[in-house]
Chains A and B, each alone.
Chain A
């Protein structure tokens, strides 16, 4: 694709945009820093980023704002902020991809190419090499490889799924490339400081519902969430089902999810309500294991049956034996 500023402003993470910025250089004007800070603040507060106005001047500035936002996020160097920002940038890209999918196919193709993802069109569907499919799809029931058409190393995906895969690729790229390690100008550091002050405070959640009886898998997921590590969809559902069954009130469960990088109070509340209403049953240990969520050999059959007195003791004994063996 020949150089295209409109494309670059929509997809500022693309190699073409990066190359342009490298050549043209960046001027960090007060306005750019201000807009970059606003971009991050909006990402933090609402999980979204506004689209750019359809004007060549705005396109140019958008690239500077994006680069500056990355600098601020790097200066802040906070996992929660970076995670949340990555999700918002991915959503923004997703919105553009949805538009361009019907009018500018070449843009969508260029984005895919930028990530080295080789989609092939097959009728109304697309196919993608399975290793790329696995790298860029969420671990969820819908995307489970077992239920996919896999042939000759290629997985079939729908038009919509193709865009979701690209969105996930954006999120992963953002997370993998941030923070940038460099010394930043004072105004960038100041903006970072203001954003850090906005972050929710990490307070340990006290619970009287027998936390010692939480199985290792559940404790691990809670720990990951509190560190703002991204938990796959299956893990979130399992955790919510567990906590609902453990008898925790709604607000307390929502608190556990507050530090997830893509947290939205409304969605989380709704989803937990849904699980409660539909009386979802807890996945068995075997299912948990197949989702890669099982972390220990406690032999309780189902996380809900875990009792520290019994299964914790088994676990500690096995651990000791294993250590002895190694």
Chain B
């Protein structure tokens, strides 16, 4: 066990009123919460507190009941589990754990934006779209995963975690996982690999090809409907017939049916401009880390008070609405910094100025307390 007996109790005395309240609420949540931790006995757990997201790690839980017991009694503010399965999850140093296998995970976060710590609806929408793109443009068509194999989870804060637990990927090492992340981000993609000349003719990918060649061919064909795009390639593409001729020859992999001046330079430019990969959208280090501790699905996030809920469908998912859990009661809080107008669990409130007091529905109050933007009044 990773914690020292009695330490929890001592810490509770030192805790500020906000932390005590949050822990009390979290404890009651964990009494009946549904959380998802397949093969629980082989995972390492990490608990976090008011100051650190992982305060104690190398924790082992033999069963769901044992874990629940600890969550109720200790009420950690963050609960993470290892993507890895170990023979001895609580052994240390790491090599003694004896790594057996690991889930494949992807971490998507909302972009940095002026909304700062109060993530706005627009940012949530952007990251939701990226998650859909990751699934629909990469994981399903390229990697061949079925939608049922991909478990989507709200991270509890600003983004999503995707967990794939299929047998096929369990034993992949760090380098192999890095290759998967690189593929998705488009790292190392080179134009030369997809285009070649035979005689003077330029050949390239067809829209039905797999990989970045096919992605480019499909995107290119789609953009042929855009006049500005066509003009930047060749004046000849003004004519409908020439356009059709180029399109039908690309279907055969021939990119040379109409004379394009400086064709390779232009195509290369387009190839690079199109940003077919998801660079900067997923955190490649998380995917490559075969011992990563990641938010446990169904656990609470101490920085927002939201639950890291499993997302059955990304369609229409709104974290501020669907991940809020403390729906009963209200609480009077004093705001410690300016809070913009927000909507939590369907309740609109704010803006609130620093020093202002307000009685808010519990979910809204918990959100502000967890963000350390308010104190109990």
Among A141, A144, A146, A152, max chain B CB count under 10 A is at A146
Q: In the assembly, what is the distance between CA of A152 and CA of B57, in Å?
A: 38
A141 to chain B: closest residue by CB: B188
Give the residues from 85 to 105 in chain B that come closer than 8 angstroms, CB to CB, to chain A.
none
Kindly state whether residue B210 has any CB partner on chain A within 8 Å: yes
Q: Are A147 and B193 in contact (CB under 8 A)?
A: yes
Q: Are B145 and A150 in contact (CB under 8 A)?
A: no
Q: In the assembly, what is the distance between CA of A139 and CA of B178, in Å?
A: 10
B138 to chain A: closest residue by CB: A150
Q: In the assembly, what is the distance between CA of A150 and CA of B186, in Å?
A: 13
Kindly state whether residue A325 has any CB partner on chain B within 8 Å: yes
Query: How near does chain A come to B189, taking the closest CB pair, in angstroms?
Result: 5
| Number of CB contacts from chain A to chain B under 8 A | 90
**Chain B residues with CB under 8 A of A270:** none
Kindly state whether residue A3 has any CB partner on chain B within 8 Å: no
Q: Are B214 and A292 in contact (CB under 8 A)?
A: no
Give the residues from 128 to 167 in chain A that come closer than 8 angstroms, CB to CB, to chain B.
129-131, 134-135, 139, 141, 144-156
Q: In the assembly, what is the distance between CA of A152 and CA of B210, in Å?
A: 8
Q: Are A134 and B144 in contact (CB under 8 A)?
A: no
Give the residues from 234 to 293 in chain A that come closer than 8 angstroms, CB to CB, to chain B.
290-292
Kindly state whether residue B143 has any CB partner on chain A within 8 Å: yes
Q: Are B176 and A153 in contact (CB under 8 A)?
A: no
Q: Are B180 and A145 in contact (CB under 8 A)?
A: yes
Q: Are B182 and A151 in contact (CB under 8 A)?
A: no
Q: In the assembly, what is the distance between CA of A155 and CA of B183, in Å?
A: 12
Q: Are B144 and A290 in contact (CB under 8 A)?
A: no
**Chain A residues with CB under 8 A of B168:** 129, 131
Q: In the assembly, what is the distance between CA of A146 and CA of B214, in Å?
A: 12
**Chain B residues with CB under 8 A of A193:** none
Kindly state whether residue A232 has any CB partner on chain B within 8 Å: yes
Kindly state whether residue B288 has any CB partner on chain A within 8 Å: yes
**Chain A residues with CB under 8 A of B187:** 146, 290
Kindly state whether residue A326 has any CB partner on chain B within 8 Å: yes
Q: Are A154 and B144 in contact (CB under 8 A)?
A: yes
**Chain B residues with CB under 8 A of A129:** 144, 168
Secondary structure at the A interface, as helix, strand, loop or mixed, is mixed
Give the residues from 164 to 200 in chain B that come closer than 8 angstroms, CB to CB, to chain A.
168-169, 171-172, 174-176, 178-180, 182-183, 186-190, 193-194
Q: Are B169 and A148 in contact (CB under 8 A)?
A: no
B54 to chain A: closest residue by CB: A326
Q: In the assembly, what is the distance between CA of A146 and CA of B179, in Å?
A: 8
**Chain A residues with CB under 8 A of B186:** 146
In the complex, per-residue mask of B62-103: 1 if CB is within 8 Å of any chain A CB, else 0: 000000000000000000000000000000000000000000
Q: Are A139 and B52 in contact (CB under 8 A)?
A: no
Q: In the assembly, what is the distance between CA of A325 and CA of B53, in Å?
A: 8
**Chain A residues with CB under 8 A of B356:** none
**Chain A residues with CB under 8 A of B288:** 292
Q: Are A131 and B210 in contact (CB under 8 A)?
A: no
Q: In the assembly, what is the distance between CA of A139 and CA of B143, in Å?
A: 19
Kindly state whether residue B209 has any CB partner on chain A within 8 Å: yes
Q: Select A144's contact among B52, B57, B171, B188, beta carbons within 8 Å.
A: B188
Q: Are B178 and A290 in contact (CB under 8 A)?
A: yes
Q: Are B143 and A292 in contact (CB under 8 A)?
A: no
Q: Are B178 and A149 in contact (CB under 8 A)?
A: no
Q: Select B213's contact among A135, A149, A154, A291, beta carbons within 8 Å.
A: A149
Q: Select A290's contact among B172, B188, B211, beta carbons within 8 Å.
A: B188
Q: In the assembly, what is the distance between CA of A134 and CA of B171, in Å?
A: 11
Given that A130-B143, A131-B169 are contacting pairs, would A148 and B211 also be in contact in the complex, using a CB cutoff of 8 Å?
A: yes
A148 to chain B: closest residue by CB: B211
Q: Are B179 and A150 in contact (CB under 8 A)?
A: no
Other A-B pairs beyond A130-B144, A153-B143, A290-B178, 11, CB < 8 Å? A129-B168, A139-B175, A145-B179, A145-B182, A145-B183, A147-B211, A148-B211, A151-B209, A152-B144, A155-B210, A325-B54
**26 A-B contacts (beta carbon < 8 Å):** A129-B144, A130-B143, A130-B180, A131-B172, A134-B176, A134-B180, A139-B179, A144-B179, A146-B187, A146-B189, A146-B211, A147-B188, A147-B190, A147-B194, A147-B212, A150-B143, A150-B210, A151-B142, A151-B144, A151-B210, A151-B214, A153-B144, A154-B144, A325-B52, A325-B54, A326-B57
| A-B pairs with lowest CB-CB distance, top 6 | A153-B144, A151-B210, A134-B176, A147-B193, A149-B210, A152-B144
